[in-house]
Structure 1
């Protein structure tokens, strides 16, 4: 078995040229706005993505948009990924969640650290939508800080035996594969002691709990996952090395933060567009509310937030893609864009007045949905620690 090349190396040119990517982006934009937006309330009420939309997503190649073409994906790089994310964020976030783990935090572990055998076994299935992968990292006592996880994997002959529990695992109820992080050895100052394993969902001892009932993002399923003495063969160890785990987690999370920032910008853009349209038509005392200066001021603040977010997420994606900055820049983008989306969604409800508090009005759903963006892939507080600590380390390194 051979492992992948160093994922920190400066990448080659994207597999997808500008013209082809423009077509992909246009098709995604059209799909979101003509096929998904008209069914947002249906998705919200059913707490599920309709099967026909899932089939269309698979047919468009979106289950594997960030998986290399060699393994059946579209092969988009992160600078292209965030453009797609801003389009996907324009509608209910459950749609993106359906295929987000295949392309993002779960799939990228395989893309960057899997052996050729592991890639051959799974990446084609993930890219086609035949299989769904979940990123099984978060635990009751280990969320934003993966170093605190307690799930254990113990070597038993040629196998590994995994025991522990995971929480809030996206797509767990429909997953075919769990990218599972477990402690294989005692942590030390230089070694977190974490490895990562490929655990099929149908392995004996894997138990998925009921779907979580969440504040928002209806149709995006999460659940607890329990591993009760789950036995997997030696070749389930990603990269064939116990030392891959923590690096894989940090790489996937950092990349995912840039993607989440793009989603946040897309959601904020939708909230702004809905607010502009409402302010232009709704009247108070016979006067369109958009003529009121205080409403215009709110729209101006929203536009400023969206514009700054667009610029920042593109800059962070470029820096990540080239290897210039894969730690501070992703956290800056994630922190700013997700906090910005929360402020914009709040202002959108305010512009709509009482109407904005009504279920089935888009800004009400957006207000609830974007709240989660400040929590996963590391909370805003964790991003501040990464940014602040990184700046101090950089200063000390220069001195």
Structure 2
């Protein structure tokens, strides 16, 4: 077992686009990464060592990219390690491209384009794209992806500093600043590359604009001119977007697939009330957008604790913006009591969730149910109720 180096030089990437490189990538489409060292030894008998290393690394990246781009596109596209990590998921990029199209946008300057994920979605929506990045290898990969997917006629890739690009000829600007550095994620918007303040100034100069930012951005950092949208896909929060030229001051959560959109009504925080029969767990995008009050109003409920984003109600009201659980038991946090309850209920499948608790779900699972007691499935929610550590036992509502 083992794997070859994943570093990629511009020259090595160019070799992948030559006939020998293309044939090698086709041969490696379904390779087993666990067997890379043995496979590399075999391939180096007939191909240059640098080409083999580059092809194996690219084949591995394509396998990783399937989760974001789908098997068909990932098998034809090219990637860098950072590109796979930072690229927009296809479902989210396609949703945003559709939003631009509905706004009447026919051309977009995509600044900090990366490997071209958003540019591809925009082009597939029939929008002409100027894709800009300052890294030569990243630009080469973006250009190769446009060619590989038959979109080169709509995507112009330009190697340049985005702060020096004239975007006046385009209907809209899209900026995806780099939010990772040598030490990992960057949380200060002014430490983005380019800084959020520059991106906002560029957006305000365009008829329409969208800025992709981290979903954890403090609300006080959002400009008054922005229409702020938090997006989740399949229940996972993916990003936040600041739109300009749409509805200044709006806050909304968009859930994919769908899309389903919840817009702020400016409601006050819900009141805290005792735990009812049902518990609602709002989608992460709803929580990030500070729209828990809108969910509470929809289901006729209140909070279980003023600091916890769980909504409770006595009756079941279906909602697209929260998962519902039917609660059967409410216990003070006590491992022995929970273990006894699970044994009494003959539980065989245990799901542990938490919000506002320092206890690790897997640790609790090992303590209370080292082996199945039966066949019944239950969910235990570790949280706080009116400030007290509490265990809520129940099951998801279909």
TM-score range, shorter chain: under 0.3
Structure that is richer in strand per residue: 2
Structure that is richer in helix per residue: 1
TM-score by length of 2: 0.23
Per chain length, whose mean CA-contact separation is higher, i.e. which structure has more relative contact order (CA < 8 Å, sep 6+)?
1
TM-score by length of 1: 0.23
